[in-house]
Amino acid sequence: MSGRERANQKIRGVNRMFLSFECSKRGPTSYCYLLGIILCVVATPVLPCSRVVYRGPDGAVVVGRTMDWAQSLEVNLWAFPAGLERDGNAGARSLKWTSKYGSVAATCYDTLVADGMNEKGLVVNVLYLSSSIYPKFDGTRPTLSIGAWAQYVLDTFATVDEAVTVLKDEPFQLGALIMPGGHAGTAHVSISDATGNSAIFEYIDGKLVVHHGKQYSVMTNDPPYDQQLALNGYWQEVGGNIMLPGTERPADRFVRASYYLGEALQTPDERKQIATVFSIVRNVSVPIGAEHAGQPNVAATLWRIVADQKRGVYYFELTDTPNVFWVDLSRLDLSVGQPMRMLPVEGAPEMAGEVSGRFRKQSDFEFMAGSDPGDVQK
């Protein structure tokens, strides 16, 4: 038995001990249900990425997230103006739209939008969710590549309420992705706006599930979100000042992020707000060098993003450089008729400070192609 297998065996034993005690003390209804969830989570591969929304004094809203993967995602930042004609790149019925708002987005392979903020302060975060199951194309609705999902939201909506009103009725179907390396690009999406409102969209067993409200301020990966909330409720009763789960598993990161968000400094100081959110997402990051054979998504944190939604500033940190740089969206001309621009990040010279002047004009951007989930999900 390997060291990791022995460690996982011990974790399972600890979880059984804690939950068995709670079952005997409180009865079978809720805590025995949690026992099943925890044992399921322990046996599930770890799927990193984490996101938190901080709300501070004077209406401050700051969202932070990590991106974890075993291989380079070739991240770059793009500045997209309003007025762009878009194509969802998911077959013959691909959704067509025109961007209403300008935005800055973090892309993978210059084809998949993983994160971004638009000029109205709406932020979208895409996180891996292996348990996602998308419905197969029904031939009646437009289709949209998952690689374009986040950008469609950034292009189209100013607030979470607007987005939920439209997206809950599923006006399009999502086209499944196969990532470089052959792994399925399944995901769920969180959005937040400059008021601190939040929503999470995920497809479970082919059905859209939406969690909408300011209380949904933390998200990681598997298990599905309702089970993460149940697990967090258990650990809230234990108390973070007594013990917090410390593994890299999504459910453990969810608990730590929730606890530290609740402990976060409440200050009107902009710099301290940004530093506070960075401190939380660094706490739930996975160290450089972490590897899990056969699981490229169970790996070290590659980069972190913190977005100041009230002031319109987008902060970025590569984990293998010592610097933070940022983009002040007010310094970019994102009006109709302006060109797309790109800022090389991975492999580029180290950057620090405000970098809006370093974006360079680009003539084209094509979303990663999406396919009928009925053909991809076997």
- Known catalytic residues are 49
For residue 341, give every residue at least 6 positions away whose Cβ sits within 8 Å of its Cβ, in sequence order, or none: 78, 79, 332, 359, 360, 361, 362
For residue 158, give every residue at least 6 positions away whose Cβ sits within 8 Å of its Cβ, in sequence order, or none: 101, 118, 120, 122, 193
Q: Number of C-alpha atoms within 13 angstroms, CB side, residue 110?
A: 11
Residue 329 region by backbone torsions, left for phi larger than 0, else alpha for psi between -120 and 50, else beta:
alpha
Contact 267, 22 (CB under 8 A): no
For residue 89, give every residue at least 6 positions away whose Cβ sits within 8 Å of its Cβ, in sequence order, or none: 145, 147, 148, 175, 366, 367, 368, 369, 370
For residue 358, give every residue at least 6 positions away whose Cβ sits within 8 Å of its Cβ, in sequence order, or none: 343, 351
In angstroms, rounded to a whole number, what is the distance separating the alpha carbons of residues 33 and 18? 13
Alpha carbon 160 to its chain centroid, in Å, reads 15
In angstroms, rounded to a whole number, what is the distance separating the alpha carbons of residues 341 and 363? 8
Count CB atoms within 10 A of the CB of residue 42: 18
